[in-house]
C-alpha cells in the first residue's frame, strides 16, 4: 500500500524533468542574461550565473522606459491590440465552436476538418499569402473596392495587425472551446427550457457558466502567443506606429548591442503572463469545486 504514492511520484518524473529542462533552466538563463553584462569586445551577452552578482542598473533603466519612457507606449499598445484581437476572436470563434458542438450533426467531422486544414499550412506562408492579398493591387483589396472600401491595408495599419493576429490564432480558440462545449450536458439546457427559461436565458444562465473554464482556457491559449508575437507585425506592418513588445524584444536580442534589454522584456512579459495564468488556474479550480459540489 505504501508503494503507491512513490509510484505516482515516478509518473510525475518525465513531466517534471521536461519542465525543469525546458522551462526552469532556460528561464533562469534569461534572467542571467537580463542581469548580466556585455562582452566588451564581442558585444554579446555574458550571462551572470551567480544571482548574488546580478547587475540591475541596465534593468532599472529599461523598467523606467517601460513605465514612463518610450517603451510605455509599446506596452500599452500591445495590451490594446491583444485585447481587441481577443474580443474579435471570441466573436468569431464562439459561434463557430457552438455550432460545431451543437448543430453540425452528421457533418461535424467535415466542418472540423475544414477549420483545421488551412492551418496545416505554415503560419509564415499564410501571412505571406495575406501580404499578397492585401497589397494595393491584391485580390482582397480589389474585392473590397467593389464595396467602396478603399483602404491601404499594408500601410502600417493597426487594423491589419489586429486582424492578422485574429486570423493567426482563432483556430486555437475554436478547438478547445469546441472540446468544452461538446462535453456539455445539453440535457441541462433542455431542463432549463422546461422550467420556463427562454433560449437567451438558458444560454446566459446555463451554457455560459458551464463553458467558462473552456472560454478562459481558450482565451489564455491565444493570449499568450499573441503577447509575444512579432512576425505578424513584421510581415503586415513594419511601421513604428504599430510596434509591439515582441518587436522590441526581437530588436534588442537580434539587432542591437543590448541583449539584456531584450531578456529583461521577456521576463517582464512572462511575469505579466504568469499573472494571467494564475487567474486561469484559479478559475478552473473554482469551476472544479463547483461541479464536484
Partner 1 sequence: MSTSNFRPMQRRDFLRKLAITTGGITVGGAVLSACGGGSSTTADGLSIGTPQNPIKLPVSTDPIADGLANESGTLEILNWADYMNPESIAAFETQFGVKISTSIYDTEEGAVAKLRNGTFKPDVILGMTDTGLAKLIAADILQPLNKSYIPNFGNVISGLRNPYYDLESQYTVPYFIYGNGIGYRTDVIDKSAFAQNGYEVLWDAKYNGRLAVLDSYRDTLAMAIFRNGGNDANSSDPDEIKKAGEALIEMREAVNPKVDILGYQEIPAGNRDIQFLWSGDMFTAVQYMPEGLDPGVLGFWYPETTVTKNDFMCVTKAAKSPVLAHQLINFLSDTDSALKNREYVGYQPALETITVDTLLASGTIPESLVDALVTPEKYASGLAQVTLEPAVDALWLEQWTAFTAG
CB 127 within 8 A of CB 231: yes
Over the window 149 to 168, marking each residue x when it contacts partner 1 by CB under 8 A and - when it does not, the resulting string is ---x-xxx------------
Smallest CA-to-CA distance from 261 within 5, 69, 19, 18 is with 69
Q: Of these, 178, 248, 266, 268, which contacts partner 1 (CB under 8 A)? A: 248
Q: Name the one range near partner 1 by CB under 8 A: 10-18, 108-116, 175-183, 244-252.
A: 244-252
The verdict on 26 binding partner 1 (CB under 8 A) reads no
Distance CA 291, CA 120 (A): 36
CB 199 within 8 A of CB 193: yes
Distance CA 279, CA 273 (A): 10
The verdict on 234 binding partner 1 (CB under 8 A) reads yes
What are the φ/ψ torsions at residue 184 (nearest 5 degrees)?
-60, 145
The residue (of 152 and 290) whose beta carbon lies closer to partner 1 is 152
Q: Of these, 50, 68, 254, 291, which contacts partner 1 (CB under 8 A)? A: 254
Q: Which of residues 133-152 bind partner 1 (CB under 8 A)?
A: 135-137, 152
The residue (of 34 and 213) whose beta carbon lies closer to partner 1 is 34
The verdict on 55 binding partner 1 (CB under 8 A) reads no
CB 30 within 8 A of CB 266: yes
The verdict on 229 binding partner 1 (CB under 8 A) reads no
DSSP string, 3-54: HHHHHHHHHHHHHHHHHIIIIIHHHHHHHHHHTSEE-TTT--EE----GGG-
Q: Of these, 256, 278, 286, 290, which contacts partner 1 (CB under 8 A)? A: 256
Q: Which of residues 61-100 bind partner 1 (CB under 8 A)?
A: 65, 69-71, 73-74, 77
Minimum Å gap between C-beta 236 and partner 1 is 11
Distance CA 69, CA 76 (A): 12
Residues in Cβ contact with 193 at an 8 Å cutoff, skipping those fewer than 6 apart = 199, 202
Minimum Å gap between C-beta 239 and partner 1 is 5
Residue numbers at the binding site for partner 1 (CB under 8 A): 38, 40-44, 65, 69-71, 73-74, 77, 124, 128, 135-137, 152, 154-156, 231, 234-235, 237-243, 247-248, 250-251, 253-258
Amino acid at each position: 500500500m505504501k508503494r503507491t504514492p512513490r509510484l505516482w511520484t515516478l509518473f510525475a518524473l518525465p513531466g517534471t524533468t521536461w519542465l525543469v529542462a525546458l522551462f526552469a533552466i532556460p528561464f533562469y538563463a534569461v534572467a542571467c542574461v537580463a542581469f548580466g553584462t556585455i562582452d566588451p569586445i564581442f558585444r554579446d551577452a555574458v550571462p551572470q550565473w551567480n544571482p548574488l552578482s546580478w547587475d540591475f542598473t541596465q534593468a532599472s533603466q529599461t523598467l523606467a522606459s517601460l513605465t514612463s519612457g518610450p517603451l510605455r507606449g509599446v506596452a500599452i499598445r500591445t495590451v490594446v491590440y491583444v485585447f481587441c484581437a481577443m474580443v474579435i476572436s471570441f466573436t468569431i470563434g464562439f459561434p463557430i465552436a457552438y455550432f460545431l458542438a451543437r448543430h453540425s450533426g452528421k457533418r461535424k467531422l467535415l466542418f472540423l476538418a475544414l477549420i483545421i486544414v488551412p492551418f496545416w499550412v505554415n503560419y509564415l506562408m499564410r501571412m505571406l499569402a495575406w501580404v499578397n492579398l492585401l497589397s494595393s493591387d491584391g485580390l482582397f483589396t480589389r474585392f473590397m473596392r467593389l464595396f467602396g472600401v478603399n483602404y491601404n491595408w499594408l500601410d502600417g495599419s493597426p487594423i491589419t495587425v489586429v486582424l492578422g493576429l485574429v486570423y493567426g490564432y482563432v483556430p486555437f480558440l475554436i478547438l478547445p472551446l469546441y472540446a468544452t462545449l461538446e462535453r456539455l450536458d445539453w440535457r441541462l439546457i433542455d431542463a432549463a427550457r422546461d422550467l420556463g427559461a427562454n433560449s437567451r436565458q438558458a444560454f446566459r444562465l446555463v451554457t455560459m457558466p458551464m463553458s467558462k473554464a473552456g472560454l478562459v482556457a481558450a482565451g489564455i491559449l491565444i493570449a499568450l502567443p499573441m503577447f509575444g508575437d512579432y512576425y505578424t507585425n513584421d510581415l503586415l506592418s513594419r511601421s513604428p506606429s504599430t510596434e509591439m513588445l515582441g518587436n522590441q524584444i526581437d530588436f534588442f536580442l537580434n539587432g542591437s548591442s543590448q541583449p539584456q534589454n531584450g531578456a529583461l522584456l521577456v521576463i517582464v512579459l512572462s511575469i505579466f503572463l504568469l499573472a494571467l495564468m494564475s487567474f486561469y488556474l484559479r478559475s478552473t479550480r473554482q469551476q472544479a469545486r463547483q461541479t464536484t459540489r
